[in-house]
Amino acid sequence: MASAAGQDIRGTLPEGLGAAVRETAEEIAALLHEATDMGRPIPGSEWNVGEAAAHLAQANELMADIAAGHARRYGDGTPQSLAAANERALAAFDERGAEPLAAMIVAQADAYLKAVQGSTAEETVITPLGPMSPAVLGSYLLTHMLGHGYDLARALGRPHMVNRARVELTLPFMITAMPRVTDAARTAGLTARYAIRLWGGTGFGVTVTDGAVSVGVQPPARPDCTIATEPVTFLLMALGRRNQWNAMARGHILTWGRKPMLAPRFPALFTAP
């Protein structure tokens, strides 16, 4: 019998996604195995290590259930409602031990992979951020683990697991989710065409038409502004883990086009879920 990660080969998931999901979960578990203080605060977060790990275990379970076809209500799709749902779920779940949470994170990532074995690219599941294919849900699962895995690594003083190949695998989720996490107050009245490019990799396009946002897998033919970003920087900025001004000062973002002044506005158009 083929492994769950072998679904990449059969086409249920994009190539490499199954392996990235499993390996990221295992690397997060390895961080927790080394953790001696689950109460250690996470820089820039209201959570500590134990709370972030508990959230990851719960979120992986949620996504595995969704992939298996089980209806799960979790907020109303807005970033604010998701944050509130996270807090309610954490309050009702008191496990904060490193070993049990590490085991849960890996087991539920595997449960997602097992659930998608019989799915097709045409199927749709309902997620906290709206309808998605099982493969885009897997990209969502990977993105979520990378964000919180990065937090845990920083808090514990260990290397993080975000890399170029994994960032590329987050793009299906990013492209799907960006219109759903738009900050309407910041896009109001704006009309602009952005080309977003990852260094050495792929890109996508974001078009804002009088405040309405659409995102496509191809950059527009005549963008007003092109933003080229180092891949890890792109993901950390998208997830609210890195400041654009620091990234620009370090040369990790390059911009050009007819209206380069549009570039600093771009990150603020979206609220990290």
Domain boundaries, the chain: 4-177, 182-269
- pLDDT value at position 3? 43
pLDDT at 2 over 80: no
Give which of 25, 40, 154, 33 is closest to 98, Cα–Cα.
33
Say which range, 1-10, 39-48, 115-124, has the weakest mean pLDDT: 1-10
Read off the pLDDT band of 272 (50, 70, 90).
confident
- CATH of 4-177 among 1.20.120.450, 3.65.10.10, 1.10.40.50, 1.10.357.10: 1.20.120.450
Give which of 169, 167, 213 is closest to 187, Cα–Cα.
213
| Tokens 């049990």 -> residue | 100
Topology (CATH) of 182-269: Nonspecific Lipid-transfer Protein; Chain A (3.30.1050)
Mean pLDDT of 107-130: 91
- pLDDT value at position 5? 47
Phi and psi at residue 253, to the nearest 5°: -135, 130
- pLDDT value at position 12? 76
Helices (H), 157-202: 164-177, 184-187
pTM of the model: 0.93
- Percentage of the chain lying above the pLDDT 90 cut: 85
Higher pLDDT, 3 or 93: 93
- The pLDDT tens digits of the residues spanning 35-78 come to 999 999 999 999 999 999 999 999 999 999 999 988 888 888 88
pLDDT at 8 over 80: no
> Which structure tokens are listed for 184?
């309407």
Query: Are 103 and 29 spatial neighbours (Cβ–Cβ below 8 Å)?
Result: yes
pLDDT at 252 over 90: yes
Read off the pLDDT band of 214 (50, 70, 90).
very high
> Which structure tokens are listed for 128?
């906290």
- pLDDT value at position 105? 98
